[in-house]
Amino acid sequence: MQDERLFTPDFKTQPYWWDAARPGIGAPAQIPTKVDVCIIGGGFTGLSCALELARDGTSCAVLDSKRIGQGASSRNGGLVSGALKHAESSLVGHVGEERAMQLMREAAGTLQFLDDLITREGIECDFARVGRFSCAWSRKHYDSMARSAEKTAMLTGEPAYMVPQNHQRDEIGSDYFFGGQVSEGAATIHPGKYVAGLADAAQRAGAQLLGQTHMKGMTRTAQGWLVETDRGVIEAERVMLGTNGYTGRETPWFRRRLVPVASFLVATEELPEGLAQELVPNARGLADSRRVLNYFRLSPDHKRVLWGGRVGTHAMDARQSGLRLHKTMCRVWPQLKDVRISHSWNGNVAFTLDFIPHLGAHEGVHYALGCQGSGVAMQSWMGTQAARTMLRGNSQSAFAGLDFPAQPGYGGNPWFLPLILQWYRLRDQIDRRLQ
Ligand SMILES: Cc1cc2nc3c(=O)[nH]c(=O)nc-3n(C[C@H](O)[C@H](O)[C@H](O)COP(=O)(O)OP(=O)(O)OC[C@H]3O[C@@H](n4cnc5c(N)ncnc54)[C@H](O)[C@@H]3O)c2cc1C
């Protein structure tokens, strides 16, 4: 099939999720002049923070330069787990054994937190505890997963077990991997519906949501803050930053501590009868164990495949990224070589320099940032924790108060990412070949 024929006639360069839930909250008729808390960033972090504050009766406003929810929160793959993206050994190296265990426990608990939040607020977002199949890219990766299965089960309280290569067709219609690990506690979600539902819940509780309102700067005063926006100034006692992969030059201290990385996704057209069931028999979320990983799943109606990966480091033409993803997808599932792409899009995630999400306050600015591309449950939890910290005056989260490292010479422009991506790809190839 020729390249251009790989796209459907109604091909869209926007998230598949927006077909059912397009971010809708734009510019307000007018902005409030005074609130208790002004939150910058209208994704999972900012909205969950606003929801928690508003439920307490604290007045708050959430600003987003784009429509509310239009950042990564309505662009992601909707795979939900409570895993920390950090090898346990290096986590221990950073924070010591006891804190590492607290962080992993808290991260695992974010999944149940999300489940409870969705139930409490009655958010209809196709949340399904279908489990995750982590596909082993090499035999060595399989062995290392086998060593972690018991701990995954212990942390999540749900079964986690290995599926050897000769049985992997029970989990994925492909012979490409070397078996893998099932963790039954994990889930999938419709992120577009979730972020819209979270916005509704926050509004119902009394939060003000201001889309298309850009924070240009923040000035500290004796009473709190003056938040300057392109629609006027808001006076606030406190401010909270939930800008993650879109953190800009307005907040340079934070920008120096975050590495924005693009991630790319495609949705296929509807598959022929029976094919979805053959590809993902148990409808679990899937991801491989590469450093430059791919993540994939069925759409909530089980009619399409959604396939994501890091096929570049910066935003690129959606057809170009779509073709690259299609190629990787067909290596795993040659059955899809004639199946066309209906949607292709990207968004930014934020990595931190120690690969740990960070929660705290710097010079009076509260923040919850840096979930290394795994933020559906984690950032919802972190936003809530930021609110609780403001309400109680202290934090009970193990993520709070950790040293938030910067790298001398790095100001927020990740020019080195293409080199790192190449290096990681090379190491992935070495892992696969030398086994
Ligand atoms: C393609 C892709 C796939 C992903 N897949 C998964 C997945 O499968 N599972 C998972 O758990 N996570 C996934 N993630 C990560 C997850 O989406 C994010 O971690 C999460 O959405 C972050 O939420 P947030 O609220 O912190 O940030 P965002 O949702 O990105 O919101 C930040 C907002 O801040 C706004 N902003 C920035 N600066 C300003 C300013 N000066 N003034 C006003 N507003 C400002 C931006 O406009 C933006 O909307 C993926 C991310 C991407 C991009």
Query: Which pLDDT tens digit goes with each residue over 32-80?
Result: 999 999 999 999 999 999 999 999 999 999 999 999 999 999 999 999 9
Handedness of CA 235, 247, 194, 24 (dihedral sign): positive
DSSP state letters, 420-431: HHHHHHHHHHHH
pLDDT bin (cut points 50, 70, 90) of residue 434 is confident
The number of the ligand 1 atom at minimal distance from the alpha carbon of 265 is: 1
CATH of the domain at 400: 3.50.50.60
Is residue 198 within 8 Å of 52, Cβ to Cβ?
no
Could you tell me if residue 413 is inside a domain? yes
Could you tell me if residue 56 is inside a domain? yes
Is residue 411 within 8 Å of 390, Cβ to Cβ?
no
DSSP state letters, 73-105: GGTS--EE----SS-HHHHHHHH-HHHHHHHHH
Report the separation in Å between the CA atom of 427 and the middle of ligand 1, taken as the mean of its atom positions.
28
How many separate domains does the chain show? 1
Long-range contacts (CB closer than 8 Å, 24 or more residues apart) made by 215-221: 215/40, 215/63, 215/65, 215/250, 216/250, 217/250, 218/250, 218/251, 218/365, 220/363, 220/364
pLDDT bin (cut points 50, 70, 90) of residue 363 is very high
Mean pLDDT of 95-123: 95
Could you tell me if residue 344 is inside a domain? yes
Could you tell me if residue 61 is inside a domain? yes
H or E, element range at 342 = strand 341-352
Could you tell me if residue 111 is inside a domain? no
For residue range 248-269, list pLDDT tens digits in order: 999 999 999 999 999 999 999 9
For the cut 60, the answer to whether the pLDDT of residue 31 exceeds it is yes
Nearest of 350, 343, 354 to residue 367 by alpha carbon: 350
Q: According to the model, what pLDDT value does residue 84 have? A: 81
Residue 303 burial (CB count, 10 A): 15
Report the separation in Å between the CA atom of 161 and the middle of ligand 1, taken as the mean of its atom positions.
31
Could you tell me if residue 112 is inside a domain? no
d(CA 173, CA 135): 12
Strands 160-163 and 180-183: antiparallel
Q: According to the model, what pLDDT value does residue 2 have? A: 56
Could you tell me if residue 417 is inside a domain? yes
Is residue 314 within 8 Å of 262, Cβ to Cβ?
yes
Could you tell me if residue 366 is inside a domain? yes
Give me the domain span that covers residue 365.
3-96+190-282+302-433
Is residue 82 within 8 Å of 185, Cβ to Cβ?
yes
For ligand 1, mutation pick of 14, 49, 64 (most atoms within 8 Å of CB): 64
Is residue 130 within 8 Å of 187, Cβ to Cβ?
yes
Report the separation in Å between the CA atom of 420 and the middle of ligand 1, taken as the mean of its atom positions.
22
The number of the ligand 1 atom at minimal distance from the alpha carbon of 295 is: 8
- Write out the E strands in 103-159: 132-135
The number of the ligand 1 atom at minimal distance from the alpha carbon of 73 is: 21
Handedness of CA 82, 83, 84, 85 (dihedral sign): negative
